[in-house]
Structure formats: structure tokens, C-alpha cells
Amino acid sequence: MRIPVLEISEVRKAFGSEVVLEDISITVPEHTATVLIGASGSGKSTLLRCINLLELVDDGTIKLDGQEITSVAANPDEIRRKLGMVFQSFNLFPHMKVLDNIILAPMRVHGISRDEASEKAIELLKRFGLSEKADQYPDRLSGGQQQRVAIIRSLAVQPRLLLLDEVTSALDPVLVNEVLSTVRDLKDHGMTMVLATHEMGFAKQVADEVCFLEKGRILEWGSPEQMLENPTNPRTKDFLQRVHEAGRL
């Protein structure tokens, strides 16, 4: 069997006395997408930040391509080069044009020349229909366009694994779809990803596995069909019911 891209085992994370993640184990094989669902505050962002080493776990291990990244000897800068992360609030660099946002990491982290990095960045912008925005500052773009630029920025370093944290939650409903179809496109091209989302319809389309988090624990997991249509755990049912009522399914 091939080594999975990501292997999380028995991870625990606490902020002070508040336990935010408890006994989390998830395996993400190559070219698959794992979707984290759960109420606000259930620990989805914290889990993604732990994978990215923006937070340190308190127990358990995380392996990337078989290499333990939670080991003390691991170099966080080196590991983050293999990961892409997209945030709910886009977090584009406001003082840089779109193109400069995208080529910053390829140039500074991966030592690619400006010309080569720009060429690749423009290719990506074209692929996602944003090529005419290359010379604009992020604040001139709509939220949906900003988020797509943020996705392109994380793709430009050719990550092994893409982490997406509620990438549509800050967007107007009419802008959600353009971002979701971008993510779907990536999935179709074989990108391995872990994503937190409240868009259940979208989860059903891209997920290979869905994990339901509550109060930092995985209460139930399985295929999207089973999880979203026939959940066995009453809390999962309850949660889906509430999301449904909020009008997002």
C-alpha cells in the first residue's frame, strides 16, 4: 500500500485548560479530499493550523508523506514549503499587486527567477480566468476574485497538500460558486486536500471522506453519501438539520 500524504494519529491540542482537539486521527491518501464539518468552535481551524505547524500539537503525531512533522527535529519552514493554506479571510498582501502576491514564495522560498515565476503565475491566472487582474492591487478585486488569487498563490509553490479553511464563509452568496468551482477544478486535477466547510452540497461533490467534529472530537466519519444522507450519530443528524435550516444545502 502507498504511504498516505497525510496521517494524523491521536492528536490533542489545548489552549490553557481548554481542550480544543482530542484524539484526532485522520488519514488522507494521495489525490483525495477530506472534508471537515462541524459547528463553529468545534476545532476545524485549529486542526488545519496544527497540520501547517502554525500551532504545535500537545500530543499525538502528524506525518506528511511518511515523515513525522510534529517531531522536534523537523524544520517548520521546510515542511510548510510542501503545504498550501487558504484562509477564510483571504489574507492577500495588500501592499503587493496580484502577480507579486503569487510570485513572492516561488522566488523567495524556492529560488525561482522572477521571469520564470511570473510566467507560471500568469499561466495559473489565465487558467482561472484572472489574467487581467495581474497588475491590480488586491483591494480592487471582489471577494471571490481575492479568494481565487489566494488559492492560486498557494498553488504556485506546487504543494503536496492543500489546506482550505472555510474559504467561502466570508463571501457574498453570489460569489461563493466561482470559488467552489475553482476548488472542484483542483480536485479533478488530482490535488490532495483537507478542507473545512459549511457548504454541504459542495462537500458531497468533492469529498472522498467527511469527518464530523464536535467539541474537538471526531464523532463520526465516512463517505459523503453516508455522512450527509444517512448519518448514524444523532449529533451529526442534528448538526446537518441545523445547517439545512440555515439554507445552505
Partner 1 sequence: MSNEARREDGSTPNPAPYSFGGEWSPSAVEIERRIARKKQVRRKALIAAISSILVLGTLATIVITSPGWKVLSATFFHWSYGFQVLPKILLGFFESNLILTLIASVSVAFFGLVIALIRTSRSAALTPFRILATIYVDLFRGIPMLLVIFLVGFGIPALQLKGVTNNVFILGIIAVIITYSAYVAEVIRSGILTVHPSQRAAARSLGLSNFQTLRHVVLPQAIRRVTPPLLNDLVALIKDTGLVSILGVTDAIRAAQIEASRTFNYTPYVMAAIIFLCVTIPLTRFTDRTLRKSIERQNAQGQA
Ligand X SMILES: Nc1ncnc2c1ncn2[C@@H]1O[C@H](COP(=O)(O)OP(=O)(O)O)[C@@H](O)[C@H]1O
The footprint of partner 1 (CB under 8 A) covers 49, 52, 54, 76-78, 80-81, 83-85, 87, 89, 91-95, 104-105, 108-110, 138-141, 143, 146, 153-154, 157
Question: What does the chain look like in DSSP terms, one character per residue?
Answer: -PPPSEEEEEEEEEETTEEEEEEEEEEE-TT-EEEEE--TTSSHHHHHHHHTTSS--SEEEEEETTEESSSTTS-HHHHHTTEEEE-TT----TTS-HHHHHHHHHHHTT---HHHHHHHHHHHHHHTT-GGGTTS-GGGS-HHHHHHHHHHHHHTT--SEEEEESTTTTS-HHHHHHHHHHHHHHHHTT--EEEE-S-HHHHHHH-SEEEEEETTEEEEEE-HHHHHHS--SHHHHHHHHHHHHTT--
The least CB distance from residue 207 to partner 1, in Å, is: 23
**Least distance in Å: CB of 110 to ligand X?**
29
- Of the pair 19, 107, the CB lying nearest ligand X is at 19
* Nearer to partner 1 among residue 106 and residue 216 (C-beta): 106
CB under 5 to 8 A by kind: which of partner 1, ligand X, Mg ion, none does 41 bind? ligand X
Using CB under 5 A as the binding rule, the residues of this chain from 29 to 68 that contact Mg ion are: 45
Q: Is 106 in the site for ligand X (CB under 6 A)?
A: no
Considering the complex, what minimum distance in angstroms separates the CB of residue 183 from ligand X? 18
